[in-house]
Amino acid sequence: MRAKNRHLINAIFLLGALYLKVFLERVFEVYLGDPFLAMALLVALEYRFAGRFLVFLAVGVYEGFFSPSGVLSALIAGLVVVALKDPLLKRLYQETPYSVLLVPLVLLSAYRFTYTILIPYLLDLPLPHGWTLAFSKDVLLTTGWVVLFGIAMRVGRSEALSRLQGL
């Protein structure tokens, strides 16, 4: 029951992040990072193989729809993130605040670099003009969302779980 609740809560979080991304873009008409990717990263890293695969597939379907790289590229980028996670956590001293920023920054940079730069380059797809600046801005803003969601999820999930168990 507890695991099912966790899946349900994660699915709601993911959907909420997608709604937040679209809503903010439409209200302010500027790019404010990618809350959906930030949430997907947090959720995917919690799961094992099948769960991660499903989350990155959802991200791939969404991102592959709007960019020419496609679904497969998002899955490959997801694999890069998964492969990087364990060595990164093993080598970092987790007790300091900088690791809270550094881990998502490295993982997101790896994901975005693979998905938006490396794979389009290999597929001979053109990149937007000034992609370095766009890439840096994107990664920094999305890292901000990861940190924000990371904190919110810790508080929110324990609250939601206790309420669901009480029902």
Partner 1 sequence: MPFFRFNRFIYLFLLAVGVFFLIFVKDVPLVSGFLLRTVSFFVKLPSEVGESLRKGMELYVGLVKLKEENERLRKENEALRSKLVELNERLRFFKALKKTDATDISLYPRVKARVIYKPFSPFENYLIVQVMERDKRSYIKPEMPVVSIAEDYPGALVGQVVSTSKNGLAKVLPITAPVSAVDVISSRSRERGLLRGRGKGRPCLLDYVPTGADIKEGDILITSGMDALFPKGLRVGRVIRVLPERRQGFFENIEVEPFAKVRSVEYVYIILKRRARNLPK
Contact 81, 111 (CB under 8 A): yes
Given the complex with partner 1, which of 128 and 156 has the nearer CB atom? Answer: 128
- Please give the Cα distance from 132 to 117 (Å, whole number): 9
Amino acid symbol at 119: I
**Minimum CB–partner distance for residue 166 and partner 1 (Å):** 30
Find the part of the chain contacting partner 1 (CB under 8 A) among 71-79, 84-92, 93-101, 156-164: 71-79
Find the part of the chain contacting partner 1 (CB under 8 A) among 27-35, 83-91, 100-108, 157-165: 27-35
Kindly list the distances between the CA atom of residue 60 and the CA atoms of 12, 63, 77, 89, 165, in Å, as whole numbers in the listed order: 18, 5, 9, 25, 33
Helical H runs in 30-96? 35-46, 49-66, 71-91
Kindly list the distances between the CA atom of residue 66 and the CA atoms of 21, 28, 152, in Å, as whole numbers in the listed order: 14, 20, 28
Both structure tokens of 44: 């995917």
Q: Is 57 in the site for partner 1 (CB under 8 A)?
A: yes
Positions in 121-160 near partner 1 (CB under 8 A): 125-131, 134, 138
Select the residue interacting with partner 1 from 19, 86, 121, 163 (CB under 8 A).
19
Q: Under rule CB under 8 A, how many of the chain's residues touch partner 1? A: 42
Q: Is 118 in the site for partner 1 (CB under 8 A)?
A: no
Interaction site with partner 1 (CB under 8 A): 15, 18-20, 22-31, 34, 50, 53-54, 57, 60-68, 70-72, 75, 116, 125-131, 134, 138
